[in-house]
Structure 1
């Protein structure tokens, strides 16, 4: 079998490489306190796009640091209340996608909520206000500022806050909420389920934002992780701060959030993934203590995996 990373048996035992900050738990406790103090000011605006069996809305709420966050919300009609819901998160730099790809779950009786990550390709607001570079990527946003200003801290909190908002909707059963997404969306799926532990079903697909130092040491700081190379070249060309930088990235490393997940997990990984190397994904998966299952595609990389979305639909239907 061709191999990009470690042999599978080693991957199943891999414990991660990136350092964990000593105050990691205090960091996220403080972050969640900030999130809970925000007046979300939720607004639903009827969309121009409508279908006979569901109502479609643009949903807006205020996240941490005053950013106005947008999501697409599809609510099925003629379904017994309360019903299950699924949150969807998109890939890096993208957006919530078209309305039509939400309809499969709506037709099955789910409310569907797809968030635009702040500052990326959708309509969510990025309030900025950080010291240091904003060039070439969101992983490094805030890396030269205080850890509380890391942009992915805010994006992870947006996801958790949105999950809480959805759980408070009268039409949604708070005990039947799932989350899913590919790549960046897979990373946010892990973070959302970790920071909002009431989530019952968790389906990340080749998750991004895991084990940054492993990415660097594999010489895979390109494509989605290119900004790590950019940061070192511009701001630490002799790597005198390397340990500090990777430790700071540890605050937004999903391998350290994964143990908080309480919902059941179904994760898809391709062993030829050069965008998010398999070992980085296993670093997070191996730390999940909840019920979990891994769907492995030996010949596939960062791409569509035959049958995986069908498996995820069946997984979510158990809600």
Structure 2
């Protein structure tokens, strides 16, 4: 059971006294510009997992700092025209796992890209993308505080760049309609 320090009604009304840093938009604009200095180099290798109704591709693309990020792309086997894309990010502690764990969207007629979250996948689903951290400092176990002393070295800066690049990678696949999608 969750424990809260305020009653539910107060939580619903709560407005923290935190404001967005003045350089927030500039920070992310520069970060994404830096990401574009590396070619996306999205690669899609067909793999056979014995699924008759779904085509599966092992995906690799360049994420933050040009570091390779893994994923899966799943499509309905009958797909001949570009499909809308669903990009899915795995929750804390989980990795991309196996394609058989991600059949919902492709079974419903969508293309689906599942991004492997760097450094994760040891808790409840296998991961295949290491986190090559730069200048990280000591932190508590887990990822929330990894590199937290500086926005430049914070773990989630790398993850969010990977997430943007995952959308770009998915949109680059020929059977994906780059104009229709969801994350």
TM-score by length of 2: 0.84
The alignment status of 1:7 with 2:8, answered yes or no, reads: yes
Aligned to 1:38: 38
Residue 148 to residue 98, structure 1, CA distance change in 2 (3 Å): same
SS at match of 2:118: coil
Aligned to 2:60: 60
1:135 Cα deviation after fit: 4.7
Q: Aligned partners of 1:55, 1:178: CA distance in 2, in Å? A: 20
Residue 8 to residue 50, structure 1, CA distance change in 2 (3 Å): farther
SS at match of 1:163: helix
Aligned to 1:140: 145
Aligned to 1:87: 87
**Unmatched runs of 5 consecutive residues or more in structure 1:** 180-319
Q: Aligned partners of 1:173, 1:8: CA distance in 2, in Å? A: 43
Aligned to 2:16: 16
Residue correspondence of structure 1 range 26-175 to structure 2 within 5 A: 26-121=26-121, 122-144=127-149, 146-175=150-179
Q: Aligned partners of 2:163, 2:130: CA distance in 1, in Å? A: 14
Q: Aligned partners of 1:80, 1:57: CA distance in 2, in Å? A: 16
Q: Aligned partners of 2:55, 2:79: CA distance in 1, in Å? A: 12
1:30 Cα deviation after fit: 0.7
RMSD, matched Cα:
2.2
TM-score by length of 1: 0.51
1:3 Cα deviation after fit: 8.1
The total of aligned residue pairs comes to 176
1:7 Cα deviation after fit: 2.7
Identify, as 1 or 2, the structure richer in helix. 1
Residue 137 to residue 80, structure 1, CA distance change in 2 (3 Å): same
